[in-house]
Amino acid sequence: MTDVDVRTAVPLVFSAVGKAFAANGRRHHVLAEVDLTVAAGEIVALLGTSGCGKSTLLRLAGGLDVPSAGEVLVGGRAVRGIESRCAVVFQEPRLLPWRTVERNVAYGLPHDVTGSRARAEVAHLLDVVGLTAFARHRPRQVSGGMAQRAALARALARRPGVLLLDEPFAALDALTRLRMQDLLADVQRTAGTTVLLVTHDVDEALHLADRVVLLGPGESTPDKASGVRLIRDVPGRRPRDRGDAELAALRAALLTELGVGNP
């Protein structure tokens, strides 16, 4: 795989972050006192039950929402509004249906990248994600996995210091999901960008992440708001063997923490 030209990876820091929403005349606390540092070039996966605030935390990192308390720092600078150093890949590809795959990828380029340089960069990214032959296709003409690869290429086109992934493979079939996980691992290993991944899939977290962070209510958090319940280092260097016995033991422990019990 050829190198992906991205900005230098930067750290992502959540400092005493809280988030509350007004509902039915009262404030509902979703997140409270979240302290977490994602080192430059690290992959951190967020796990937790539905509604625990995983996607909310990711949105705060990208400047798509504003914390009620604390602050988020990207590269040592507080996030204020849409964060240009971050790129987001959502569960759905969210491609523009009237644009071809290559023009969807080009949409992610910085404004100062134009002309032949833009064409070369888009061609390069399409090659990285294996979509060169489908450059002129429209989103409805490609599979769900291909569309999500295009969404990943569009995010990388921004040259992000931090890549934010909100369950990006959840809607894919099992085999395509495994292939997309391997593609993401290859791209990140080459590019070195910082990654914050939201997922419900423990196996996906263990395959991709350097550390796994479990969010959930704590004894000291108000109104059952979520905080960082535990952090686990994932043993072994990436890429990992999915059948590794050490990973299986950690998988069982995490499932127990999530209230699923041993598989």
Domain boundary among 108, 127, 159: 159
In terms of domains, do 137 and 69 share one?
no
In terms of domains, do 200 and 238 share one?
yes
In terms of domains, do 26 and 51 share one?
yes
Over residues 106-162, the pLDDT tens digits come to 999 998 999 999 999 999 999 999 999 999 999 999 999 999 999 999 999 988 999
Over residues 52-64, the pLDDT tens digits come to 999 999 999 999 9
Confidence of residue 4 (pLDDT cuts 50, 70, 90): very low
In terms of domains, do 138 and 72 share one?
no
Q: Once rounded to an integer, what is the mean pLDDT over residues 45-57?
A: 94
In terms of domains, do 189 and 117 share one?
no
DSSP collapsed to 3 states, the chain? CCCCCCCCCCCEEEEEEEEEEEECCEEEEEEEEEEEEECCCCEEEEECCCCCCHHHHHHHHHCCCCCCEEEEEECCEECCCCCCCEEEECCCCCCCCCCCHHHHHHCCCCCCCCHHHHHHHHHHHHHHCCCHHHCCCCHHHCCHHHHHHHHHHHHHHCCCCEEEEECCCCCCCHHHHHHHHHHHHHHHHHHCCEEEEECCCHHHHHHHCCEEEEEEECCCCHHHCEEEEEEEECCCCCCCCCCCHHHHHHHHHHHHHCCCCCC
In terms of domains, do 262 and 186 share one?
yes
In terms of domains, do 75 and 6 share one?
yes
Whether the predicted pLDDT of 5 surpasses 50: no
Domain span at residue 103? Answer: 92-159
